[in-house]
């Protein structure tokens, strides 16, 4: 028997809908924060992690992130984002309207992108600033995947609720 959102109890579908909505708000807020600190462009990202010579600008000072700060950023983001994508991955896995192939791709892709993003972050900090472009690209893929996953989950849940109300 295939387990889908249709075979799930109503209260679990309600939980999934609201968790997805709150995650959407949270993820969007985090993107606004990154826009505020880096303008979402690779040179801004590189400046945030590698610092900027205070003499070359009159803007806010930016110093290179310390090793301890890098470790803190990495472990907090990797663990929390893994949980976010665990939840959206579960939601996608229960969608009946998606093919098996698409489901597997959508579920696995964010975890790969997470590893690429944080590897790029370390390479950018201690290696070459140009790795900020890789970080930007993989983070963009991550964000797009998150919004696609959330849309698919909410669409599926709405469809199941509509079918349920029609049967009643």
Binding map of other proteins across residues 1-40, x = CB under 8 A, - = no contact: ------------------------------------x---
Closest CA to 109 of 131, 82, 141, 76: 141
Q: Cβ distance 145 to 106 under 8 Å?
A: yes
Cβ distance to other proteins smaller for residue 36 or 101? 36
User: Could you say whether residue 80 binds other proteins (CB under 8 A)?
Assistant: no
Residue written as token pair 């803190």:
72
User: Could you say whether residue 54 binds other proteins (CB under 8 A)?
Assistant: yes
Positions 91 through 110 that interact with other proteins (CB under 8 A)? none
Residue in 1, 25, 68, 167 binding other proteins, rule: CB under 8 A: 68
Q: Cβ distance 91 to 51 under 8 Å?
A: no
Cβ distance to other proteins smaller for residue 1 or 59? 59
User: Could you say whether residue 61 binds other proteins (CB under 8 A)?
Assistant: yes
**Maximum CA pair distance of the chain?**
71
Q: Cβ distance 45 to 124 under 8 Å?
A: yes
User: Could you say whether residue 74 binds other proteins (CB under 8 A)?
Assistant: no
Q: Exposure of 103 by Cβ count < 10 A (0-12 exposed, 13-18 middle, 19+ buried)?
A: middle
| Residues binding other proteins (CB under 8 A) | 37, 48, 54, 58-63, 66, 68-69, 72
């Amino acid at each position: 028997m295939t387990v889908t959102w249709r075979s799930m109890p109503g209260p679990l579908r309600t939980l999934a809908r609201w968790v997805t909505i709150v995650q959407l708000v949270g993820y969007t807020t985090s993107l606004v924060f990154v826009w505020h600190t880096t303008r979402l462009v690779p040179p801004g990202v590189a400046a945030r992690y590698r610092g900027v010579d205070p003499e070359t600008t009159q803007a806010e000072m930016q110093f290179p992130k310390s090793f301890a700060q890098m470790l803190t950023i990495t472990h907090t983001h990797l663990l929390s984002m893994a949980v976010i994508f665990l939840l959206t991955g579960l939601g996608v896995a229960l969608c009946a309207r998606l093919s098996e192939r698409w489901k597997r791709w959508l579920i696995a892709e964010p975890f790969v992108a997470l590893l690429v993003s944080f590897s790029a972050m370390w390479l950018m900090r201690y290696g070459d600033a140009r790795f900020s472009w890789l970080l930007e690209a993989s983070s963009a893929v991550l964000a797009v995947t998150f919004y696609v996953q959330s849309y698919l989950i909410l669409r599926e849940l709405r469809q199941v609720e509509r079918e349920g109300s029609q049967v009643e």
